[in-house]
């Protein structure tokens, strides 16, 4: 039986790139996303994959979806917490709801998934959890909510890594730099060019650039790596 990988926010962008790479490498991928039509279509493009409609903010819904994946697809070996949103605005204009929305999806969403999957991995003495943070975790103008959520992801990752290491469950974070996705294509052209100018390798990253690092961490080659924060940004953060 192929190992099973659950990827959240998987219907497009980085999540779909991660799902494609894992699918090519022999995983049975379960694509999870809040966008029902999108996740159905995305799953149709990856032979042998499954999909679930899931809002990661909803603690009980995450519990149900993870339980049905275990019952109907099989034991979850790899969890990739990728679902994320941004609501960028300068701090003096940032609204309470923009703060809450971003923290709920980006940070609570990852907690919800780890909370419901880690106990199963612990019992089985095997698991790989990969949390998608961001280069912005170190602070970025107009992204107080986003940066706080992504810095929180690193705290969650390092704590989970310490707690789960004795059970052969690794937990790592990846910080993508500037990756080609609907999220970055929404930027105004001047902001897009400003970000491009910060990349020493001189090209935007692809979702598959991130997917291949996820595949490494999920594989036997990454078995002794835990609690790490890995930049995937063409040298953007050095």
What amino acid positions are annotated as catalytic residues?
146
**Is the CB of 103 or the CB of 168 nearer to ligand NAD?**
103
Smallest gap from residue 25 Cβ to ligand NAD (A): 20
**Is the CB of 3 or the CB of 177 nearer to ligand NAD?**
177
Look at residues 232, 231, 211 and name the one whose alpha carbon lies nearest to residue 21: 211
**Is the CB of 141 or the CB of 165 nearer to ligand NAD?**
141
Alpha-carbon radius of gyration of the chain: 17
Q: Which residues pair with 129 in a beta bridge?
A: 79, 171
**Is the CB of 28 or the CB of 82 nearer to ligand NAD?**
82
CA–CA gap between residue 227 and residue 205 (Å, rounded): 24
Smallest gap from residue 163 Cβ to ligand NAD (A): 23
**Is the CB of 59 or the CB of 167 nearer to ligand NAD?**
59
Smallest gap from residue 11 Cβ to ligand NAD (A): 4
> What angle is formed at CA 8 by the lines to CA 205 and CA 159, rounded to 5 degrees?
90
Assigned token pair, 204? 């935007």
Q: What 8-state DSSP symbol labels residue 112?
A: H
> What angle is formed at CA 188 by the lines to CA 184 and CA 191, rounded to 5 degrees?
75
Assigned token pair, 30? 């379960």
Contact positions vs ligand NAD (CB under 6 A): 8-9, 11-15, 33-35, 54-57, 82-85, 105, 109, 132, 134, 176, 178-179, 181-184
Q: What 8-state DSSP symbol labels residue 131?
A: E
> Please, is 50 exposed, middle or buried when counting C-beta atoms within 10 Å of its C-beta (0-12, 13-18, 19+)?
middle
Q: What 8-state DSSP symbol labels residue 224?
A: T
Smallest gap from residue 13 Cβ to ligand NAD (A): 2
Smallest gap from residue 219 Cβ to ligand NAD (A): 21
């Amino acid at each position: 039986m192929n190992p099973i990988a659950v990827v959240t926010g998987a219907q497009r962008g980085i999540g779909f790139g991660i799902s494609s790479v894992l699918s090519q490498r022999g995983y049975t991928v379960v694509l999870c996303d809040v966008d029902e039509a999108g996740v159905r279509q995305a799953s149709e493009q990856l032979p042998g994959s499954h999909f679930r409609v899931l809002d990661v903010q909803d603690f009980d819904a995450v519990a149900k979806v993870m339980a049905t994946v275990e019952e109907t697809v099989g034991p979850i070996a790899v969890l990739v917490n990728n679902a994320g949103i941004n609501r960028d605005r300068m701090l003096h204009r940032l609204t309470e709801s923009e703060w809450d929305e971003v923290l709920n999806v980006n940070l609570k969403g990852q907690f919800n998934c780890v909370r419901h999957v880690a106990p199963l991995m612990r019992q089985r003495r095997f698991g790989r959890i990969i949390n998608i943070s961001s280069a912005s975790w170190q602070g970025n103008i107009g992204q107080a909510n986003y940066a706080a959520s992504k810095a929180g992801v690193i705290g969650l990752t390092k704590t989970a890594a310490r707690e789960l290491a004795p059970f052969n469950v690794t937990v790592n974070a990846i910080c993508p730099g500037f990756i080609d996705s609907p999220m970055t294509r929404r930027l105004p052209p001047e902001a897009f060019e400003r970000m491009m100018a910060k990349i020493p390798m001189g090209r935007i990253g692809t979702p598959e650039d991130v997917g291949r690092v996820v595949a490494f961490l999920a594989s036997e080659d990454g078995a002794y790596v835990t609690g790490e924060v890995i930049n995937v940004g063409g040298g953007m953060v050095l």
